[in-house]
Chains A and B, each alone.
Chain A
Amino acid sequence: MNAIALGLDRARYETKIYFRQGDTIFFTFLFPIVMLSIFSVAFSAAGDFGAGPDGKGGISAAAFYLPGMIAAGILLSGVQNLAVDIAVERGDGTLKRLAGTPLPVLSYFIGKFGQVLITSILQVALLLLIASVAFGVTLPTDAAHWGTFVWVYLLGITTSAVLGIALSRIPRTGKSATAVIIPIVLVLQFISGVYLQFSLLPVWLQNVASVFPLKWMAQGMRYVFLPDSFKQVEQGGVWNLGGVAIVLGIWLVAGVIAARLTFRWIRKDS
């Protein structure tokens, strides 16, 4: 088998294992879905978000939180999933075993990326399904919004996967992986407009969040799923899709370089 075919075989194998791990299923796969459901139910009686003084023009809590949860799902499926997964594999001997076989590193990464893509697409599809069926959220109907959705999603998931590979180098042991990675991911979610309305955060905190990719993924998703009138509360009063593309692009390149420089099958001694 060549490296690509082996990579696809790895993707099947990795995806199978992903769905056999209860903690991963909950904290990575189901987490945004559970949070969307909680927010939708908890704030269902609080009236519509973004309604004018006459009580019109607003949207439901579910519709308001959907873009942020999709962005969070992309971050979890890429960064949290791979950073923890690879750190654990380095700690428990999986990588050392693979390093002793003729498996190409490229195939290993095709497998990881394939697993991220498959699980993340399922996750987003479930989010959209639950939002529209259970909570009555109206989804966009025009090609322009879905076109933006596709490129923001693909750029976002690729960047997240690459950053996950780069971050997997930080935990010193497999056992400390979740303790090191989850706080980073959690803080990002709180300051990037996933759980808290971004426009209500202090400006300095908005500026801090703007350095990181999650804020931009959430912003791109808000463009896709929120009414156009909501752009007034974005930074500068515009959706700034160009900014989304540029910041995610920079993180993608930085992540590729970091992953390329730091990934090793095993910690080789000096």
Chain B
Amino acid sequence: MQPRGDKRAGRDHDVLMTSEKHVVVTDLRKTYAGGFTAVDGISFDIERGETFALLGPNGAGKSTTIEILEGYRDRTGGEATVLGVDPQHGGLAWKARLGIVLQSSGESGNVTVREQLAHFAGFYPNPRDVDEVIAAVGLTEKAKTRIKALSGGQRRRVDVALGVIGRPELLFLDEPTTGFDPEARHEFWGLIRELKREGTTILLTTHYLDEAAQLGDRAGVIAGGKLIDIGAIDAIGGTDARTPVVRWRDASGAHEERTLAPAGVVARLYSELGGEPDGLEVIRPSLEDVYLGLVAGHTGSSRQSPAQIEEELA
């Protein structure tokens, strides 16, 4: 018993040291019964109040990772701590501090938006005001409509509303805006920024890199079950991947120059050509460009095993 006691004391000490971290993941692994390894040694932390975007192609291990942190799946290796608790043993008090927006589901929806939110609000010790949440997701006019009569994008907003109704300290958003039109997505971003302002910690997975760039403070890129890069949204991929490109045309054709000093190049061109260069562009790689470069550079990124497909469908 003695060594075990020592270990506990050590862990408690760790928790104190990391009290401002809402999520701590160390060498996380998940191997399914069929032998397929979906998550292969991932480590990252999320600070209190931070928005962390987890990016990666389909089947890369994003959903498995987020579902382990939500307590839906048991890990097969490594450590995970969410709000100071091992998600494998999270009780009701722990769940009351979380908000979970799963990937879209197909519930029958025989209740109205307001009935559903008022009902779920009753589960939590300190819920938000139901009508304020309905207004925040832009469904005030649909409050008395049964959920099954809503469009896909409107149902998704109900999912988000249910995720935030309990005033969560940590919010999981698993591909929250799939199926939104551009206007709805921009409104949704506004809602998430409001939650960020209130200090909510957010773990976001998304296929939309502009969304990650708009909302995220930091991002991690997963491919083939491994974390291939992690960093601030405006630094991920490293200096190389982010080197601006200057493009222009002249009599001899199109030119392109990668440079860390684009203004200098433009000034040089201006003086050399004695005027405005044709088709001048200065391009800073977007998060999407950086991401595609990262994933393409990772050999294992495109494989998708049957077990993985089964898991995606489950």
**Who on chain B is nearest to A20 by CB?**
B110
**Who on chain B is nearest to A89 by CB?**
B107
CB neighbours (8 Å) of A145 from chain B are none
The contact of B102 among A1, A13, A100, by CB within 8 Å, is A100
A56 at interface by CB-CB < 8 Å: no
CB neighbours (8 Å) of B74 from chain A are 268-269
CB neighbours (8 Å) of A101 from chain B are 95, 100, 120, 123-124, 166
Report the minimal beta-carbon distance from B166 to chain A, rounded to whole angstroms: 7
A96-B72 contact in complex given A9-B122, A101-B166, C-beta closer than 8 Å:
yes
A97-B105 contact in complex given A9-B119, A17-B111, A268-B72, C-beta closer than 8 Å:
yes
A104 at interface by CB-CB < 8 Å: yes
CB neighbours (8 Å) of B166 from chain A are 101-102
Q: Find out whether the CB atom of B72 lies under 8 angstroms from the CB atom of A100.
A: yes
B267 at interface by CB-CB < 8 Å: no
Q: Find out whether the CB atom of A93 lies under 8 angstroms from the CB atom of B107.
A: yes
A118 at interface by CB-CB < 8 Å: no
A117 to B251 CA separation, bound complex (whole angstroms): 86
A96 to B107 CA separation, bound complex (whole angstroms): 11
A94-B107 contact in complex given A268-B74, A269-B73, C-beta closer than 8 Å:
yes
CB neighbours (8 Å) of A92 from chain B are 105-108
A265 to B170 CA separation, bound complex (whole angstroms): 22
Per-position contact with B for A55-98: 1 when CB-CB < 8 Å, else 0?
00000000000000000000000000000000010001110110
A141 at interface by CB-CB < 8 Å: no
Q: Which of B125-175 contact A (CB under 8 A)?
A: 125, 146, 162, 166
**Who on chain A is nearest to B119 by CB?**
A13
A93-B73 contact in complex given A1-B122, A101-B120, A102-B92, C-beta closer than 8 Å:
no
**Who on chain B is nearest to A105 by CB?**
B92
A245 at interface by CB-CB < 8 Å: no
A266 at interface by CB-CB < 8 Å: yes
- SS class, residues of chain B in contact with chain A: loop
**Who on chain A is nearest to B92 by CB?**
A102
CB neighbours (8 Å) of B15 from chain A are none
Report the minimal beta-carbon distance from A207 to chain B, rounded to whole angstroms: 41
Interface size, A (range): 20 to 34
A267 at interface by CB-CB < 8 Å: yes
**Who on chain B is nearest to A91 by CB?**
B106
B33 at interface by CB-CB < 8 Å: yes
A103 at interface by CB-CB < 8 Å: yes
Q: Find out whether the CB atom of A104 lies under 8 angstroms from the CB atom of B92.
A: yes
B93 at interface by CB-CB < 8 Å: yes
A260 at interface by CB-CB < 8 Å: no
Report the minimal beta-carbon distance from A3 to chain B, rounded to whole angstroms: 9
A94 to B107 CA separation, bound complex (whole angstroms): 6
CB neighbours (8 Å) of A267 from chain B are 314
The contact of A96 among B32, B105, B110, by CB within 8 Å, is B105
A258 at interface by CB-CB < 8 Å: no
Q: Which of A1-34 contact B (CB under 8 A)?
A: 1, 6, 9, 13, 16-17, 20-21
A206 to B67 CA separation, bound complex (whole angstroms): 50
**Who on chain B is nearest to A19 by CB?**
B110
A270-B106 contact in complex given A13-B111, A103-B123, C-beta closer than 8 Å:
no
B70 at interface by CB-CB < 8 Å: yes
**Who on chain B is nearest to A267 by CB?**
B314
Per-position contact with A for B283-314: 1 when CB-CB < 8 Å, else 0?
00000000000000000000000000001001
Q: Find out whether the CB atom of A93 lies under 8 angstroms from the CB atom of B105.
A: yes
B184 at interface by CB-CB < 8 Å: no
B96 at interface by CB-CB < 8 Å: yes
A99 at interface by CB-CB < 8 Å: yes
A102 to B100 CA separation, bound complex (whole angstroms): 11
Report the minimal beta-carbon distance from B59 to chain A, rounded to whole angstroms: 15
Report the minimal beta-carbon distance from B114 to chain A, rounded to whole angstroms: 13
Q: Find out whether the CB atom of B102 lies under 8 angstroms from the CB atom of A97.
A: yes
Report the minimal beta-carbon distance from B147 to chain A, rounded to whole angstroms: 11
A268 to B64 CA separation, bound complex (whole angstroms): 12
Q: Find out whether the CB atom of B110 lies under 8 angstroms from the CB atom of A97.
A: no
CB neighbours (8 Å) of A266 from chain B are 72
Q: Find out whether the CB atom of A6 lies under 8 angstroms from the CB atom of B123.
A: yes
Report the minimal beta-carbon distance from B225 to chain A, rounded to whole angstroms: 15
Rank and list the top 5 A-B pairs by shortest CB-CB distance, nearest first. A93-B105, A100-B100, A102-B96, A102-B92, A20-B110
A-B contacts besides A88-B108, A101-B123, 20 pairs, CB < 8 Å: A6-B123, A9-B119, A9-B122, A13-B111, A21-B110, A92-B106, A92-B108, A93-B107, A94-B105, A94-B107, A100-B72, A100-B102, A101-B166, A102-B96, A102-B124, A103-B123, A266-B72, A268-B74, A270-B32, A270-B33
